[in-house]
Amino acid sequence: KAGVTQTPRYLIKTRGQQVTLSCSPISGHRSVSWYQQTPGQGLQFLFEYFSETQRNKGNFPGRFSGRQFSNSRSEMNVSTLELGDSALYLCASSPLAGQYEQYFGPGTRLTVT
Amino acid sequence: GENVEQHPSTLSVQEGDSAVIKCTYSDSASNYFPWYKQELGKGPQLIIDIRSNVGEKKDQRIAVTLNKTAKHFSLHITETQPEDSAVYFCAASGRPGYGNKLVFGAGTILRVKS
């Protein structure tokens, strides 16, 4: 089975712009979660989607949003980018909602200048 | 909310020695505890996990133990090899209503010297 894929892998944006990141989960998986990884804050939960519904949201400002499509693919969007948004954004896929194994993709490295 | 503390932050061992990484969690409702290995330029890789109804789980050279009373769990790697060098993260999950949300420890950099 193919693993979790994320596109693009690298992205450079300017402060104030917006960005959309994409995640395709493992085939058959219906839950997608997003995490932000930075050297200072570590791995932090952004949000989780299951069956096109946001089930849980982390402590991030409203500039961070996401959605899930009927084929379980997910996108996250960050509007009005700030320098502090520079991070590795990781997507994790799980078969179902609840305490199931989560498998991470390689991440999208976002640099905001 | 849940808080996970992980120790040590760095760990250097000689090839063939054992390595132990310890984590404590704060939310007694947590019932799922995975461990991830992250190599440079890659996403975290699930290496082993344990649920609250199990005290210990082993997979070849890797084992995890859980003490629910003390709210701590540990990763044990035996016969370490250079390819075990990476950053290891523990995590906790399971409070009802929190879905798949994982709360991670800060990570441990493991260096295996050959």
pLDDT in tens, A12-65: 999 999 999 999 999 999 999 999 999 999 999 999 999 999 998 999 999 999
On whether any CB of chain A is under 8 Å from the CB of B89, the answer is: yes
Instruction: Give the pLDDT confidence score for residue B90 in this predicted structure.
Output: 98
Instruction: Give the pLDDT confidence score for residue B1 in this predicted structure.
Output: 82
Q: Determine if the peptide bond prior to B8 is cis (ω within 30°).
A: yes
Q: Is the pLDDT of residue A1 over 80?
A: no
Residues in chain B within 8 Å Cβ distance of A33: 100-102
Q: Nearest Cβ partner of A103 from B32, B46, B104?
A: B46
Tell me the one-letter amino acid at B79.
E
pLDDT band at A10 (very low <50, low <70, confident <90, very high): very high
Contacts of B111 by beta carbon, 8 Å cutoff, 6+ apart: B10, B11, B12, B13, B85
Measured CA distances, A24 to A29, B12, B60 (Å): 10, 36, 31
Expressed in angstroms, the distance from the first to the final Cα of chain B is 41
Percentage of chain B beyond pLDDT 70 is: 100
More confident residue, B31 or A98: B31
- What's the CA gap between B20 and B24, in Å, rounded? 13
DSSP string, A55-109: EEE-S--TTEEEEE-TTS-EEEEE-S--GGG-EEEEEEEESSSSS---EE---EE
Tell me the residues of A at the B interface, defined by beta carbons under 8 Å apart.
Answer: 4, 31, 33, 35, 42-45, 48, 50, 55-56, 58, 90, 92, 94, 97-107
Contacts of A88 by beta carbon, 8 Å cutoff, 6+ apart: A36, A37, A38, A107, A108, A109, A110
Residues in chain B within 8 Å Cβ distance of A92: 100, 102
Tokens of A68: 């899930």
pLDDT in tens, B6-23: 999 999 999 999 999 999
- What's the CA gap between A17 and A11, in Å, rounded? 12
Cβ count near A72 (within 10 Å): 21
